[in-house]
Amino acid sequence: METILIPTDFSPSAANAVDYAIELAKFFDSRIVLVHAYPVPNISYEVPFPVETISTFQKISEEKLSALKKEILEKHGRDFDIECISDMGSPFEVIEAAAKKTNADLIVMGIIGEAGAFKEHIIGSTAVAVARKLEVPTFIIPETIKYQRIQKISFACDLEKTEETDLVYVAKYFSKVFDAELEIVNVEDPEGKITHEKAISYLFVEEKLEHVNHKTTHIEGANVAEQLENYFTFHPTNVIMLNPKKHNIFYNLFNQSITNTLAFHSMLPILAIH
């Protein structure tokens, strides 16, 4: 993890994500890139738009990033390699461009901390858009979560056609790099049947994780979100890892139609992988 990208809007939730990301940067000895997107001004033909306004937005953005960089260096007493990127545009577009420009290995973003606000704000938010659309592994950090040494990673997946993807290898990598136990949490439809294809997927996963500290847990339930919420309430973990791809059942967890049984009421860090 040579480069960790940290988008910020200077809110409390973003500040908390910065603190979490800094601890990850210490762990990996990573370079840090702070990113802020300032808005595109509304322009109409009726009202002349002063070009100076863009320069003002940019200046404020750059000053805030500079202040944040100084705060990080003073707070942690460490000479981090920190780059600041300020650009005009939508947050997602700016983050996407910055990730490509800096060849980011990891993105760390924050979201609102309380369960109600979580439901209201995370769905369709920039953090979820980044997790869904960018190929860069992305940590989503709830506002109330503080960094703890990552000793257990729970990979929530359906295992369907896992052997046709790199997901097991990515999960294995994060488990090894953190020296953490890897838990595969598979949610099965109680009405579903164990097909030949699923059996092949299970065997593939066990083979690839043979020399990794891991365990596989199978839970049943038609409502994936509800089952995960219940499971993680009684089985603590440090990080929930998932793959929000379209043909995966967990894609629905990042859909605006998600129900009130959102799995992540438990307010755990989420690591989205691809």
Most confident of 99-103, 126-130, 201-205: 99-103
Checking if the pLDDT of 116 tops 90, the result is no
Dihedral sign for Cα 11, 12, 18, 21, please: negative
Backbone angles phi, psi at 29, to 5 degrees: 55, 50
Q: How would residue 13 be classed by pLDDT, with cut points 50, 70 and 90?
A: confident
Q: How would residue 257 be classed by pLDDT, with cut points 50, 70 and 90?
A: very low
Q: How would residue 118 be classed by pLDDT, with cut points 50, 70 and 90?
A: very low
Q: What gap in Å lies between CA 197 and CA 114, rounded to an integer?
A: 40
Q: How far apart are the two ends of the chain, measured CA to CA in Å?
A: 16
The predicted pLDDT at position 52 comes to: 63
Determine the average pLDDT of the residues in 39-52: 62
Domain architecture of the chain: domains with CATH = 3-142 (3.40.50.620), 152-272 (3.40.50.620)
The predicted pLDDT at position 50 comes to: 60
Q: What gap in Å lies between CA 225 and CA 264, rounded to an integer?
A: 8
Q: What gap in Å lies between CA 265 and CA 228, rounded to an integer?
A: 10
CB atoms within 10 A of CB 149: 10
Among 18-27, 120-129, 167-176, 233-242, the range scoring the smallest mean pLDDT is 120-129
Answer whether 0.85 is exceeded by the pTM. yes
Q: What gap in Å lies between CA 180 and CA 176, rounded to an integer?
A: 6
Q: How would residue 243 be classed by pLDDT, with cut points 50, 70 and 90?
A: confident
Among 30-44, 152-166, 168-182, 242-256, the range scoring the smallest mean pLDDT is 242-256
The predicted pLDDT at position 122 comes to: 43
The predicted pLDDT at position 123 comes to: 42
Q: What gap in Å lies between CA 141 and CA 128, rounded to an integer?
A: 11
Taking only the tens place, the pLDDT of each residue in 164-205 is 788 899 999 999 999 999 999 987 766 666 677 778 888 888
- Tokens 């840090």, residue? 32
The predicted pLDDT at position 199 comes to: 81
Among 28-32, 99-103, 127-131, 138-142, the range scoring the smallest mean pLDDT is 127-131
Q: What gap in Å lies between CA 122 and CA 127, rounded to an integer?
A: 7
The predicted pLDDT at position 120 comes to: 44
Please give the mean pLDDT across all residues of the chain.
Answer: 83
Q: How would residue 87 be classed by pLDDT, with cut points 50, 70 and 90?
A: very high
Q: What gap in Å lies between CA 250 and CA 26, rounded to an integer?
A: 31
Among 8-17, 165-174, 196-205, 248-257, the range scoring the smallest mean pLDDT is 248-257
